[in-house]
Each structure stands twice: as structure tokens, then as C-alpha cells.
Amino acid sequence: MTFELTGPRPGDTLSVSLYPGAFAIKIGECEVYSFDGEGRPIGASTGDRWLRRGLDNTLVEKRAGTAARGWQPLPPTEADAHVDAIALRMADLHQAVTQGHYRNPQSAIPPPLERAAAWDSRRCRADAARFLRLFHRVPILPPDQYLSLVLQPTEGCRYNRCTFCTLYRDRPFRAKSPEEFRRHLDEVVAYFGRGLARRRSLFLGDANALTLPMADLVPIFAAVQERLPVAPSDLTPAQARRWLSAHPLGFDGIHSFLDVFSGRKKSAAEYAALRRQGLRRVTIGLESGSAPLLQFLRKPERVADAVELVRTLHRAGVSVGVVVMVGAGGDRYAAAHVRETVAVVNAVSLGAADFLYLSEFVEHPGSDYARLAQAERIRALDAAEMAAQADAIRAGLRFPAQAPRVSVYRLSEFVY
Ligand code: SF4
């Protein structure tokens, strides 16, 4: 539903669009602000500048003409200033509308204006503190899951020693007890409030929740199913779309990351049991098909095990997302990385329900990777070489029937 209002001057227009769990306010031709259903600011655009805000109060910015730099995080004081400016803009608009300065054919005052005006930097910071108490942080999700509702039956990464990865260094691995997880579930639902309807899938965090034994996972999936409506398994894509439109607060299924090497391996029958409880897609950090590069990355997976894991999930009817790191290992490993990665991806027969993510490698200063690369005089690939490597991987891919969705994964752009 959209409210269209006309202001006192020519071209002075205001539209308020309501979406499930969110709303957007457009002023004139190019000023747009978006909010979740509670009124938390989540995005803004002024034609030549775009802002996205995460629930942890991170604000990232992109400006016209600087596409190569991508999204850049803003310092907290600058982020606060933007948030306050948005709240003030909404308060002014609300006042102008209530005082009759806008012609409003629908006669009702669009309710979200006042709600949006209440989210100044102080409230946003307090809300972020509540979010961080619930989640620590959500440092990464697969790109197709940026809008999922994250639930954390586990925190951190069981392994946590890959040289390039700093995502979970701030927390030890731990699994929540069933009671704690149920409490977490209630608190997450309460936290999102009217913003919940914006989230249409569920993601079990953090890095490798599915490595828990079945005896722990089955009650976790059951608790999710009891608390939230999840689409039945085995729907066709068209049936799933119909189910979602009939259930405005429903979720299309449960997604999660999984590493190849932690915990006891599960059988296809066990994954099929989880599929019946809602498991839809598992995202696996393959990173590379090259064993020497994996060794350099200190990722203790065997390529044959990665292939077997994808095949097991497929046999269970669970789709997969495979992550490949473009540029990992710099110039030293480039040729083998492309050759062996293409061979592994081709071997696992990805299909239309699967994803292949080409993740642009980011070298974190001070990481073990940076130290080792320097010691071994490995040169990082520049942007053109990274693009060429991604093209070379794409060029080598062969899929048996319908191709999976192949998308670029830029960690630096992620906000939750
Ligand atoms: S297994 Fe995954 S999450 Fe854990 S350290 Fe390695 S890359 Fe990071």
C-alpha cells in the first residue's frame, strides 16, 4: 500500500510505501529512506549517496562515481549524525503532514512517519546494545540470506584457526542448552517485533551449527518449528511461493553454514530427517579445490570430503551453497587454485536449487594469512587479476543440467 501526498510547492511530493515488516518514504524524485516495521532506519538514498544501516548500528556508505571502492563503513560519530538527520527529517515531515501542509487524498496520516521520527542516534545505540546482547554480532551470511532471521543455537566456530578468517575470533565456540535456545528464540522474535515479517528465511548460526550431533539438532529444529511457521519440505518452487504469500509471518525454510571437517559426519538419512524438519540449504566454505592452498590457509578439509558432503546433502534432498575464495593464495597459488577449484565444482554437479558464491578474498592486516604471505613473499592479486581469476573460474564451469545461481560475495558489503 502506498500513500501519495502532494506538498505546497510544485514537485513537492511525498510517498509512504508499506511492505511486510518494513516501510519506505520517498521525498521528491530521489530522496528515499527505508525502515523496518519498528521504525529502525535501514537504508537511505539521496541520488548520489547510499547508506545501509545494520542492527549493530554499523552504517556503510556508497557514493556515486566511487563504485570501485564499494561500500565503506562510516565512523560512529558520522553514523550518529546521519541517523539523527534522518529522524529529524521524519519529524519535520510528520509535523508538516499533521498540520495539513500536504494534500492527502487518503485523508489518514501515514502512521510510520511518527514511528520513524522516534529513532534518533540515542535510541539506535540502545537498540544496537540490545541486539549485541542477543547475538554478539552477525559477521557474515551468504548473500541470498542477508534478510534471514538469524538464530544462534551455537556461537562461534568450532575450529576457528583458518589463517584468513577473523570472523569469530571474538568468541569461543559453544552450544546453547535447549532451554537457553528456546529463550533465545523468544527474545529474538520479541526483538524484531513488527520487523519480523521482512524476514522470510531462517539461518542457524554461527559458523557450523550443523556439526552438532543429531541428538542436539533434532530438538533445536523442533523448537524452531513449534515457535515459527516454516514451509513444509518438498514443495515445488511455485507451491513454496504460494505458501509464503498465504503465511505473511512464515519462513521458507532453515539454512546454515557447515564446514567439511568438524564433528562426526552425518548420513544422507540424517540430513533427510533434518530436511523434513525444515532444512533447505547448507552453505559450505570450500574456498579452493587445491589441497596445497587449503594447507596454506590452514583449512583442514580434504577435497574428497567436500565432494562427498555435497553429494550426501544432494542425496538427502538438501540444496547447497558452495563458497570459493577468488584471489586466495595470491600469485603463488593462482593457477592451481583455478584449475583444481573448477575441477571440484564440476565434480559436485550443482543444480538450479544450488548456489555458487565467488567470494572476493580480503587480506586482514595482522592476520596469520598476512604474516605467512609476507614471509613467503606471496603477492596479493590486484583488482584486475581478481576479476580475471573469477572469469577463469566461471569459464571452466560445466553443469549437468540447469546451472546454479552464481553470485559474487563481498564480505565488506555485509551488514545485518
Ligand atoms: S572453519 Fe570457517 S568460520 Fe571457522 S575459522 Fe575456518 S573459515 Fe572461519
pLDDT tens, 241-279? Answer: 999 999 999 999 999 999 999 878 999 999 999 999 999
Q: Residues of the chain with pLDDT > 90: what percent?
A: 83
Q: Which atom of ligand 1 is nearest to the CA of 160?
A: 5
Model-level pTM?
0.94
DSSP-H helix ranges across 1-75: none
Q: Whose CA is nearest to atom 8 of ligand 1?
A: 165
Q: How many helices (H) and strands (E) does the chain have?
A: 12, 17
Does residue 106 surpass a pLDDT of 70? no
Does residue 68 surpass a pLDDT of 90? no
User: Can you give the residue ranges of every domain in the chain?
Assistant: 2-127, 136-413
- Let me know how long the chain is: 416
Q: Which atom of ligand 1 is nearest to the CA of 167?
A: 8
pLDDT band at 139 (very low <50, low <70, confident <90, very high): very high
Query: Rounded CA gap, 300 and 340, in Å?
Result: 17
- What is the 8-class DSSP label of residue 103? B
168 Cβ inside 6 Å of ligand 1 = yes
285 Cβ inside 6 Å of ligand 1 = yes
Ligand 1 centre distance from Cα of residue 243 (Å): 35
Q: Which CATH number fits domain 136-413: 3.90.1300.10, 3.30.2320.30, 3.20.20.70, 3.40.50.720?
A: 3.20.20.70
Query: Rounded CA gap, 304 and 307, in Å?
Result: 5
Q: Which atom of ligand 1 is nearest to the CA of 207?
A: 3
Question: Are 109 and 98 spatial neighbours (Cβ–Cβ below 8 Å)?
Answer: yes
Does residue 415 surpass a pLDDT of 70? yes
Neighbours of 57 (CB within 10 A): 21
